Amino acid sequence: MNYNLLAPEILLTLLALVVIILGLLMKETSKNMLGYVSAAGLLASIVYILGNGMNEAASFFYNSLTVDPLSQVFKLIFLIVSLIVVIASIEYFRDNRNQDEYYALLLLATVGMMVVASANDLVALFVGFELASMSTYVLAGFEKKNPSSLEAALKYFIIGSLSSALMLFGMSLVYGITGSTNIPAIIEFFKSNPMVATSSLDIVAMIFLVAGFGFKMALVPFHMWAPDTYEGSPSVVSSLLAAGSKKMGFVAAFRVLVLALVAIRIDLQMTFAILAIITMTYGNVVAISQRSIKRMLAYSSIAQAGYISLAFVVTTQMSIAGGILLALGHALMKGGAFLAVALVGYMVLSDNKNAKNTDDLGNFAGLGKRAPITAFSLFVFFLALAGIPPSAGFVGKFVLFYSITVAAINQASSWLLIVVIIAILNSALSIYYYARVIKYMYVLPPNGEKIKEPVPYVVAILLAVIGTIGIGLYPEPFIQMAINAAKVLGV
Amino acid sequence: MAALISLMIAIPLIGAIITFLTRTREQARLVALLASGISLVISLIIFSRFDSSISTIQFGESYPWIASLGVSLKFGVDGIGMPLVLLSNIVIPLTVIFAWGETKEANRFYGLILLELVGVLGVFTSLDFFVFYIFWEIVLIPMYFLISIWGGPRKDYAAIKFFIYTHVASLVMLLAIFSLYFNAWTISGTPSFDMFYLLKNYSVIQSPLLKDAIFLALLFGFIVKMPAVPFHTWLPDAHVEAPTAGSVILAALLLKMGGYGLFRVILPLLPYSGSPAKLITLMAIIGVLSILYGTFLALAQRDLKKMVAYSSISHMGYVTLGAAALIPLSVSGAMYQQFSHGLITCVLFMSCGVIQHSAGTRIIGDLGGIAKHMPKLTFLMLAGFLASLGLPGMSGFIAEFLVLVNSYFTLPTFVILALFGIVFTAGYHLWAMQRAVFGTYNEKLGHIHDGANYEMASMGILILLIIFFGLNPNPVLNMMTTNAQQLLKFVALRGVIT
């Protein structure tokens, strides 16, 4: 077996341990070094994956982990998000004396997400989920003196445990029915035993799995934790949660649900369509009334989850490619936007040490003059989130909506067209709350002096901007990459 | 020199980025003038090499972009786009010169003006529907900021109304574009956004209802931009609150995008639509309604700038009417009206700007006798007003004459109705001049001074161009007529009109 393909996971695990040990030995003032070390490790992993090509295919450990284009795409998403989060954290946690633990946990969370991306076995999937979740529970509560951070962590922990339990129960039912935890073996079993596949017990198992993944993806009605957690966590951690760990749910759903749906042939189109529409509409409508930008971003990422889950409605190659593209775009846009909010928090705190609610809309007034790079980046992220070309958000949405329209024409079903129209109207609606922030940033007068934007934040944010616009300007290779990834599922 | 058009679009874009980064207003305006000047030179090169006798696309360029979705960067000009490209490149440098004295955040101001140039040039040259739509939307954003940062007291309301109104119209248009796209996709199985390809495949659509729906959605997208009554209400607000440079660009270039859409998209579809006769009548009604309603509202305005704004609505009505008449010379007259109105309306809005700046008010009743203190402005303004009311020898006369005379063959009733508009058009122009500019001086105004030299130079150049194109329309009219004839060949083939 060629373990070279797992080098990134191995490297990052070792690095996490090294970071913890170094942290014990280092002086508090020099712990900032560890951020650079972690960033170097993540960057090396990204380079390694890209250098090896995206089209490798291999499986490991009795077929419980697999490396294929789908896993590579999602690993890249997780690594890129972690990289920009680590870079920004160098500034955010500059004077924190527990930095070593922060970076170690962040690396472990990344490894967990990468395991989920390549899991080919329900047990491996669950282990990956738990590794990533346990680490992020701690990260969400990392500002231990801030009550809202603690509230965020606790809520996230309780709901996360519940969803893990539901997922595990679903998995155990599947194991009971099929006698295997290996995903391809399960699919084979369903294909050869169609009677079992449509039994009521199997449907119950599927419902538990949908609920378990739904919590991770923050689909309505499993979304309640997301706004509170994203609002209360340190902004850099919110960035990791919204941009990175949420995508875990999607990759798991792509692997398990899509395959299972294809095998079982239960007609769940309508169910997923309703779930997606409710999710996007709810997210967009509630986002309008938020004054806390982090909360607004949280609801907007619920809405984005709704768009991405449209991929499950028709489950064609193109629609899944669209879902993957939008997941990639969303990771960059949302990750970058949360980091920009972190920078605004830094700015507000440098005005007034005891400021509360640093992400209040009022603090964004005149940001175009106070922090021009941040304001411009947020402008780009917001337009991209609203799906305005040329941006990653537009490419993802377009491929997704295109695929559903094509499916609607092929199936001659008019209700699928209505789904697309509702999704487009939702995009239009979302412009309203993004435009409001843009107006605050550029039209209203500033309420403070111009600040010097810290270099680590700027580097991280600009990386996200370059990614967002780059995909928008030159989408062809990314579309091909997503299509290759979708081909793995054989739909 | 194959890539002239993309160069012409790229230079203002690069110029805009540099302008945003400049530190002083002297640098900013110099960069803006240089970038738009180079763009003008390139457009003049294209114009001089343009062959007016053929109706096909010239200076075509094509680059692959998103192959999996059938999007490519296709640019090119023909007799429909070329005059408007030239117009954009004339108007923007003159606007920069006119706004030479801008002090508030000059780098952003001039940068946004250059971005407008990028947007309109993209709209007038894109031959890929997808890219066309992107440019169509790009135009909105700088204008939103021009109004909401440099605007008047009610700028917030005006900016958001402008944005929402035109954005909704664009979305409706986008739906129609996608319908065309998927229609072509079902026929050939390969995705493509090529404009001519999509328009050609419109005739294959089976259901007349769907055909009409697509047609009306596109028409809606364009006539809101023009704007035509009854979708005009965003325009007076936007104009009144916008800074002078913003108003000039809005009236001279942005409105022309709507008219361009009529010739580029609507007329080729018209003969194949579900019920052409009804749609022609609809367009004619919209045209005449705009002419008359715009005129009467202009007559009633107290604010000089609002009067000019309504006069734009009325003049753009001739474009719709001429297009609906489907006679080669009426269509080319309508195209010429776009070009000519683009020049004339600049002078009118610039006059309003100078008066506002100097006298502190634009309310006609509060002005009076300013000719004594502002002789240069009065001369140029009078020339502009006479051009606007259609004085022979100036470009507006040729355009409106062509439209009215030729439209009479197919739409006699509508033309007779529109003729009433002409009388009142002359009326409100002269009446406003008489009350605001001539007569006894209103002492309450205090001491007022004439416009700055750069403002007068900019307006003077426009007046010279208006007279030049009024005496010698052929350089642009010939290419318009070539394309109008080409467009109408298909109409005649379908036997829509006799």
Q: Do B66 and A480 touch (CB under 8 A)?
A: no
By Cβ distance, the residue of A390, A399, A421 closest to B134 is A390
Q: Could you give the angle at the alpha carbon of A286 between the alpha carbons of A283 and A291, nearest 5°?
A: 120
Q: Is B82 a residue whose pLDDT tops 90?
A: yes
Nearest-CA distance B235 → chain A (Å): 21
Q: Do B182 and A409 touch (CB under 8 A)?
A: yes
Taking alpha carbons only, the member of B356, B372, B374 closest to residue B364 is B356
User: Nearest chain A Cα to B138, which residue?
Assistant: A389
Question: What pLDDT is stored for residue B497 in this prediction?
Answer: 54
Beta strand segments in B37-178, E: 58-66, 71-77
Task: Report DSSP state, residue B443.
Answer: G
Nearest-CA distance A28 → chain B (Å): 40
Q: Do B69 and A480 touch (CB under 8 A)?
A: no
What global pTM score does this model have? Answer: 0.82
Q: Residue B317 carries which side chain, given as an amino acid letter?
A: G
Residues with Cβ < 8 Å from B282, sequence gap 6 or more?
none
pLDDT tens sequence for chain A (491 residues): 677 788 889 999 999 999 999 888 888 778 888 889 899 999 999 998 888 777 777 888 888 888 888 888 999 999 999 999 999 988 888 888 888 889 999 999 999 999 999 898 999 999 999 999 999 999 998 888 888 889 999 999 999 999 899 999 999 998 988 888 888 888 888 888 877 767 788 888 888 888 888 888 888 888 888 888 988 888 889 999 888 888 998 898 888 877 777 666 666 778 888 889 999 999 999 999 988 899 999 999 999 999 998 888 888 888 899 999 999 999 999 999 999 998 888 888 887 777 777 888 888 888 888 888 899 999 999 999 988 878 898 889 988 988 888 888 788 778 888 888 899 888 888 888 998 898 888 888 888 888 888 888 899 999 999 999 999 888 888 888 888 888 888 76
By Cβ distance, the residue of A428, A435, A483 closest to B171 is A428
Chain A environment of B162 (Cβ under 8 Å):
none
d(CA A146, CA A136): 17
Strand partners, B215: none
Q: How many contacts, defined by CB atoms under 8 Å, are there between A and B?
A: 43
Cβ atoms of B19 and B31 within 8 Å: the answer is: yes
d(CA A94, CA A484): 41
Nearest-CA distance B95 → chain A (Å): 23
Chain B environment of A439 (Cβ under 8 Å):
148
Residues with Cβ < 8 Å from A352, sequence gap 6 or more?
none
User: Nearest chain A Cα to B186, which residue?
Assistant: A409
% residues pLDDT > 90 (chain B): 61
d(CA B32, CA B14): 10
Taking alpha carbons only, the member of B110, B53, B113, B55 closest to residue B88 is B113
Residues with Cβ < 8 Å from B464, sequence gap 6 or more?
none
Chain B environment of A399 (Cβ under 8 Å):
68-69
Q: Do B66 and A406 touch (CB under 8 A)?
A: no
Question: What pLDDT is stored for residue B286 in this prediction?
Answer: 94
Chain A environment of B149 (Cβ under 8 Å):
442-443
Strand partners, A106: none
User: Nearest chain B Cα to A383, which residue?
Assistant: B141
Nearest-CA distance B105 → chain A (Å): 11
d(CA B121, CA B16): 14
By Cβ distance, the residue of B67, B167, B171 closest to A476 is B67
Q: Do A480 and B68 touch (CB under 8 A)?
A: yes
Place of tokens 């110029």: B15
Q: Is B498 a residue whose pLDDT tops 50?
A: no
Taking alpha carbons only, the member of B370, B347, B484 closest to residue B433 is B370
Q: Does residue B371 belong to any structural domain of this protein?
A: yes
Q: Where are the alpha helices (DSSP H) in A119-224?
A: 122-140, 147-178, 183-192, 194-197, 200-217
User: Nearest chain B Cα to A478, which residue?
Assistant: B66
Chain B environment of A476 (Cβ under 8 Å):
64-68
User: Nearest chain B Cα to A443, which residue?
Assistant: B149
Chain B environment of A406 (Cβ under 8 Å):
182, 185
Chain A environment of B68 (Cβ under 8 Å):
399, 476, 479-480, 483
Q: Does residue B454 belong to any structural domain of this protein?
A: yes
Q: Is B490 a residue whose pLDDT tops 80?
A: no
Could you tell me if residue A265 is left (phi over 0), alpha (psi between -120 and 50 degrees) or otherwise beta? left
Sequence-separated contacts (24+) of B277-281 with Cβ below 8 Å: B277/B496, B279/B212, B279/B215, B279/B216, B279/B219, B280/B324, B280/B326, B280/B496, B280/B497
Cβ atoms of B191 and B129 within 8 Å: the answer is: no
**A2 half-sphere exposure, CB direction, 13 A CA radius:** 8
Chain A environment of B137 (Cβ under 8 Å):
388-389
Q: Could you give the angle at the alpha carbon of A117 between the alpha carbons of A111 and A121, nearest 5°?
A: 105
Question: What pLDDT is stored for residue B190 in this prediction?
Answer: 84
Tokens describing residue A234: 């340190």
**A382 half-sphere exposure, CB direction, 13 A CA radius:** 25
Q: How far is CA A263 from CA B116, B241, B381, in A?
A: 53, 62, 77
Give the count of domains, chain B.
1
Rg (CA), chain A: 21
Q: Does residue B149 belong to any structural domain of this protein?
A: no
Q: Do A476 and B186 touch (CB under 8 A)?
A: no
Q: Do B171 and A483 touch (CB under 8 A)?
A: no
User: Nearest chain A Cα to B178, which residue?
Assistant: A402
Chain B environment of A388 (Cβ under 8 Å):
137
Tokens describing residue A473: 């300007």
Cβ atoms of A219 and A246 within 8 Å: the answer is: no
Cβ atoms of B441 and B325 within 8 Å: the answer is: no
Interface of chain A toward chain B, CB-CB under 8 angstroms: 388-390, 395, 398-399, 402, 405-406, 409, 421, 424, 428, 431, 435, 439, 442-443, 475-476, 479-480, 483
Question: pLDDT tens, B236-245?
Answer: 999 999 999 9
Q: How many CB atoms lie within 10 A of CB A270?
A: 12
User: Nearest chain A Cα to B168, which residue?
Assistant: A428
Strand partners, B312: none
Most B CBs within 10 A among A439, A473, A483, hence the mutation to make, goes to A439
Question: pLDDT tens, B158-168?
Answer: 988 898 888 88
Nearest-CA distance A384 → chain B (Å): 13
Question: What pLDDT is stored for residue A147 in this prediction?
Answer: 86
d(CA B225, CA B169): 8
d(CA B194, CA B179): 14
Q: Do A443 and B156 touch (CB under 8 A)?
A: yes
Q: Does residue B115 belong to any structural domain of this protein?
A: no
**Distance, first Cα to last Cα, chain A:** 28
Tokens describing residue B289: 């309604």
User: Nearest chain B Cα to A473, which residue?
Assistant: B65
Beta strand segments in B85-242, E: none
Give the three-class secondary structure for B79. coil
d(CA B384, CA B407): 26
Give the three-class secondary structure for B367. coil
d(CA B462, CA A74): 58
Q: Does residue B342 belong to any structural domain of this protein?
A: yes
Most B CBs within 10 A among A443, A469, A473, hence the mutation to make, goes to A443
d(CA A379, CA A364): 12
Question: What pLDDT is stored for residue B102 in this prediction?
Answer: 84
User: Nearest chain B Cα to A479, which residue?
Assistant: B68
Chain A environment of B145 (Cβ under 8 Å):
442-443
The answer to whether the bond into A221 is cis (omega within 30° of 0) is yes
d(CA B175, CA B170): 9
Residues with Cβ < 8 Å from A434, sequence gap 6 or more?
A300, A382, A383, A385, A386
Phi, psi of B440 (to 5 degrees): -80, 150
Q: Does residue B182 belong to any structural domain of this protein?
A: no
Q: Do B149 and A435 touch (CB under 8 A)?
A: no
Residues with Cβ < 8 Å from B446, sequence gap 6 or more?
none
Q: Does residue B434 belong to any structural domain of this protein?
A: yes
Question: pLDDT tens, B29-77?
Answer: 999 999 999 999 999 999 999 998 988 899 999 998 888 888 899 999 9
Question: pLDDT tens, B293-326?
Answer: 999 999 999 999 999 999 999 999 999 999 998 8
By Cβ distance, the residue of B68, B137, B145 closest to A476 is B68
User: Nearest chain A Cα to B21, which residue?
Assistant: A372
User: Nearest chain B Cα to A476, which residue?
Assistant: B66
Q: Does residue B37 belong to any structural domain of this protein?
A: no
Q: How many residues does chain B have?
A: 498
Residues with Cβ < 8 Å from B425, sequence gap 6 or more?
B295, B298, B311, B314, B388, B389, B390
Task: Sort strands B71-77 and B58-66 into parallel, antiparallel or unpaired.
Answer: antiparallel
Interface of chain B toward chain A, CB-CB under 8 angstroms: 64-69, 134, 137, 145, 148-149, 156, 163, 167-168, 171, 175, 178, 182, 185-186, 191
d(CA A30, CA A97): 10
Cβ atoms of B366 and B444 within 8 Å: the answer is: yes
Task: Report DSSP state, residue B128.
Answer: B
Task: Report DSSP state, residue A53.
Answer: -
Question: pLDDT tens, B200-223?
Answer: 888 888 888 888 889 999 999 999
Q: How many CB atoms lie within 10 A of CB B284?
A: 23
Chain B environment of A431 (Cβ under 8 Å):
167
Taking alpha carbons only, the member of A453, A300, A284 closest to residue A368 is A453
Q: Do B66 and A424 touch (CB under 8 A)?
A: no
Tokens describing residue B11: 């230079």
Q: Where are the domains of chain A?
A: 267-491
Q: Which residue has the higher pLDDT, A266 or B183?
A: B183
Q: Do A388 and B137 touch (CB under 8 A)?
A: yes
By Cβ distance, the residue of A405, A443, A483 closest to B148 is A443
Nearest-CA distance A201 → chain B (Å): 41
Phi, psi of A240 (to 5 degrees): -65, -40
Question: What pLDDT is stored for residue B206 in this prediction?
Answer: 82
Chain A environment of B64 (Cβ under 8 Å):
476
Burial of B260 (0-12, 13-18, 19+ CB in 10 A): buried
User: Nearest chain A Cα to B147, which residue?
Assistant: A443
